[in-house]
Amino acid sequence: MRRIGIRHRIGGITVFAAPGASGRCRAAFVAGRAVGPAVQRNRAKRRLREAFAQVPIRVDRDYVVTATSAVTEVPFEDLVGWLTRAVTEEE
């Protein structure tokens, strides 16, 4: 994914996008230990999943969305905006 994909860092997220082989969109959400304890990492991933569901995505792509600690604190509308910009810039 990192070798063939396109990376966008916006705000507190990094989005890798690459052509998908399955013909449908797949997404993975990553929150490392730098985000905080398990409770904060899980909250960050839940917020990313919900924001990703509200973003217009390309069906023929696979995505990996990586969070920083800012994801747990930023207003939800800003998080959706970050994801929208990251996904639409790769088109």
End-to-end CA distance of the chain: 17
**DSSP classification of residue 60:** T
User: Which pLDDT score is estimated for 2?
Assistant: 58
Domains of the chain by range and CATH? 6-89 (3.30.230.10)
User: Which pLDDT score is estimated for 75?
Assistant: 96
As given in the structure block, the two tokens for residue 28 are 């993975």
User: Which pLDDT score is estimated for 55?
Assistant: 92
User: Which pLDDT score is estimated for 21?
Assistant: 76
User: Which pLDDT score is estimated for 25?
Assistant: 84
**DSSP classification of residue 21:** S
Low-confidence ranges of the chain (pLDDT < 70): 1-3, 90-91
How far is 85 from 81, CA to CA, in rounded Å?
A: 6
Q: Which is it for strands 6-10 and 13-19: parallel, antiparallel or unpaired?
A: antiparallel
The pTM score is: 0.87
